[in-house]
Structure 1
């Protein structure tokens, strides 16, 4: 089973998915009239809540939706995923993560606008949003098989196995340091169970509790991580121009990978960017589809800030620490352990503890929000009355993820993300003229207000 999961993930993340995500994002970028660049200021102003409508259909505010989406995306993918990208694709992989992020902003603008434009109702009559409802309501019943494919892949791929795995690995590396393999395995079970219990307190309270917790955690976690990384960057400030040049040059030469395989660097960057900011995967539309708003374009503008914060800001900070400290060249560590080594070198004694605080908050915020995504997929597949049982299944898999191997959990999540991307991107491309028309109408109205 292990080899099947790994082989499937490597197979599906080939040229077709690369063309779909990067090609589709490029299309959205130009088709929108460069909205990710020209309208980012308006998007930021929307966060003030001036246009919020508490009487509009939905369960949470747009800012809470963005916080929940960022809580899910700004997680260990930004700390561990970037390390994996540099390990697999060299410094140049970060450049392609940047490219994928800007294209991802356009993709999220379209997919999250559609999540409001084509909302549906679940079996209990509650208004819901997400790619499965966009497909069914926007494309018609004949396309429902795509919605089912998305929900099935989401049911599996949105488990918190990767996050719990890396949280367990870092906790042991910093706080416990087991002396034997048996002790390490026992600690994994203990840490997994503790994580499960902490998660249960939040997710069993439903979406509103998740959104409330996320809206408080996100500013704190980004702030403390930014401060910690800034200390390391200042220490190595003289090497920053050199590292930025290395990132760009390596992106087009691929010297660090497979004897100069530039295509491999691009695939690695796109794959890790998709894992990190989830643009085109379809997760963010599920939570943004629950926003209290009647303005699809407004929600899309707020949603597109997610990839910018996630990849352009947080992932770049992580990459700079790994590159500036030089650990990527002479370390046998991978994933979160490589980032840990960089923090220990950059800030001796205290660096690992500052990283531990960031990782704990990042990990828990991601785990909390992923439960909502999986719950929503279960709701669509089996009905609202059955969906309540999903959270208990989800809690058990947190423990299982803690004791599984890193390669398996990364491959499992990557593979399911790719499957989810096909229905999400197909529906967004199919319905893109609707977003374009709504966008023109929205900005015309804004000029007159």
Structure 2
């Protein structure tokens, strides 16, 4: 079964998926008139709550929506995902992660604007957002099969198995192995069950509790990780220009990729970026669709900050730590263990504990938000009355993720992400002209208010 999952992920993440995500994102970037770059100042003003409307329909504020979305993206994709990218595609893969993030900003701007523009209601009459509702409400009932494809893939792809696997790995490496406790299967089961209990306490409280916890955890976890990484980068500041040049040059030579194929490096970068910032996958529109916002463009502008924070800032810092310490060339470790080696090499004695603290918060916060995403997909497929059953299925798979192999876990998530991206990108590109019309109307009204 594991071999089938790995083969499927490798097959679907070929050139067509690259064209769909990066090519589609590039089309949206040009179609928007480079809004992600021109309106980033206005997006920051929106994020500060300047235009919040507590009476607007929705369940959470825009800041909470972005916090929850970042809780899902700024996580282990930045810590172990970057390590996997460098291990598979060399430093050049990071460059293509950057490119994916820039076009991903446009994709998120459009997809999250549409999440407000075309909200639907579930079987309980609660206002909901996300690609499945965008497709049904914006494209029409005849395209509902795309909503079903997205939701089925979401139920399977938005499990917290990767986070459980990597959190279990770093806990064993830092806390158990140094004192002689072997990583037996029973130890992994105990770690998995403990994680399941911690996650259950939050996710069974619904989106409001998830958003409240995420809005407190995200700023703290980002600050902790940033400070640690900046200390390491600062200690090796003279090597940074060389590492940046290596990322750029390797992106076009592909020397570090297997067989020296540039295309393999591009696919690796795009694949890891999709897992890291989720632009084009359709997850962020689900949480942004629950925001208390009457203005679709405002929500889209706030959402587009996600890929920038996630990939351009956080992933780059992680990559620099791995590269300046040289562990990517001197060890065969992969995933979070490679990043762990880098932290311990740069900050002996304390580095591994700082990373473990960051991984703990990153992993748990991501698990909280992923449960909401999967819950919404299950709700769409089977109705609100049955949706809570998903939470129990989700919790059980956390234990399974803790004991499974990393390659199978990554491949299952990657494969389902690719399937989710197909209906998300089709609907986003199809409905893009309506977002552009809403953009013109929104800023026309904003300018008129300023002139009064």
Q: Which runs of 4+ in 1 moved over 3 A?
A: 178-183
Give the Cα separation in 1 of the matches to 2:183 and 2:443: 60
Give the Cα separation in 1 of the matches to 2:47 and 2:2: 44
Match of 2:429 in 1: 429
State the Cα distance separating 1:89 from its structure 2 match: 0.4
SS class of match (2:211): helix
SS class of match (1:431): helix
Match of 1:189 in 2: 189
Q: How does 1:38-49 map to 2 (within 5 A)?
A: 38-49=38-49
Match of 1:7 in 2: 7
Determine whether 1:316 maps to 2:306: no
Match of 2:353 in 1: 353
Does structure 2 conserve the Cα–Cα contact (< 8 Å) formed by 1:178 and 1:184? Answer: no
Q: 1:110 to 1:75 in 2, by over 3 A?
A: same
Give the Cα separation in 2 of the matches to 1:116 and 1:305: 17
Match of 2:51 in 1: 51
Match of 2:202 in 1: 202
Give the Cα separation in 2 of the matches to 1:143 and 1:236: 53
Match of 2:70 in 1: 70
Q: 1:312 to 1:89 in 2, by over 3 A?
A: same
Determine whether 1:127 maps to 2:127: yes
State the Cα distance separating 1:288 from its structure 2 match: 0.2
* Matched length: 449
State the Cα distance separating 1:181 from its structure 2 match: 9.5
Deviation string, structure 1 residues 130-152 (Cα, Å, up to 9, x no partner): 00000000000100000000000
Q: How does 1:122-161 map to 2 (within 5 A)?
A: 122-161=122-161
Q: 1:182 to 1:345 in 2, by over 3 A?
A: closer
Give the Cα separation in 1 of the matches to 2:34 and 2:363: 33
Give the Cα separation in 2 of the matches to 1:258 and 1:361: 34
Give the Cα separation in 1 of the matches to 2:183 and 2:218: 34
Give the Cα separation in 1 of the matches to 2:98 and 2:114: 24
Does structure 1 conserve the Cα–Cα contact (< 8 Å) formed by 2:177 and 2:183? Answer: no
Q: 1:183 to 1:266 in 2, by over 3 A?
A: closer
Q: How does 1:8-23 map to 2 (within 5 A)?
A: 8-23=8-23
TM-score by length of 1: 0.99
Give the Cα separation in 2 of the matches to 1:183 and 1:14: 35
What root-mean-square deviation, in Å, do the aligned CA atoms of Structure 1 and Structure 2 show? 1.0
Match of 2:399 in 1: 399
Determine whether 1:103 maps to 2:103: yes
Match of 2:221 in 1: 221
Give the Cα separation in 1 of the matches to 2:48 and 2:234: 32
SS class of match (1:259): helix
Give the Cα separation in 2 of the matches to 1:293 and 1:180: 53
Does structure 2 conserve the Cα–Cα contact (< 8 Å) formed by 1:297 and 1:439? Answer: yes
Deviation string, structure 1 residues 171-212 (Cα, Å, up to 9, x no partner): 000001178897522211111111000001100000000000
Q: How does 1:27-42 map to 2 (within 5 A)?
A: 27-42=27-42
SS class of match (1:448): helix
Give the Cα separation in 2 of the matches to 1:233 and 1:331: 20
Which consecutive residues of structure 1, in runs of 5 or more, have no partner in the other structure? none
Deviation string, structure 1 residues 21-77 (Cα, Å, up to 9, x no partner): 000110111100101111111101111111111111100001000000000111101
Q: How does 1:274-289 map to 2 (within 5 A)?
A: 274-289=274-289
Give the Cα separation in 1 of the matches to 2:19 and 2:233: 35
Give the Cα separation in 2 of the matches to 1:82 and 1:257: 15
Give the Cα separation in 1 of the matches to 2:317 and 2:365: 19
Match of 1:370 in 2: 370
Which consecutive residues of structure 2, in runs of 5 or more, have no partner in the other structure? none
Q: How does 1:241-280 map to 2 (within 5 A)?
A: 241-280=241-280
Give the Cα separation in 2 of the matches to 1:161 and 1:178: 25
Give the Cα separation in 1 of the matches to 2:81 and 2:181: 25
Q: 1:246 to 1:138 in 2, by over 3 A?
A: same
State the Cα distance separating 1:258 from its structure 2 match: 2.2
Does structure 1 conserve the Cα–Cα contact (< 8 Å) formed by 2:131 and 2:147? Answer: yes
Match of 2:240 in 1: 240
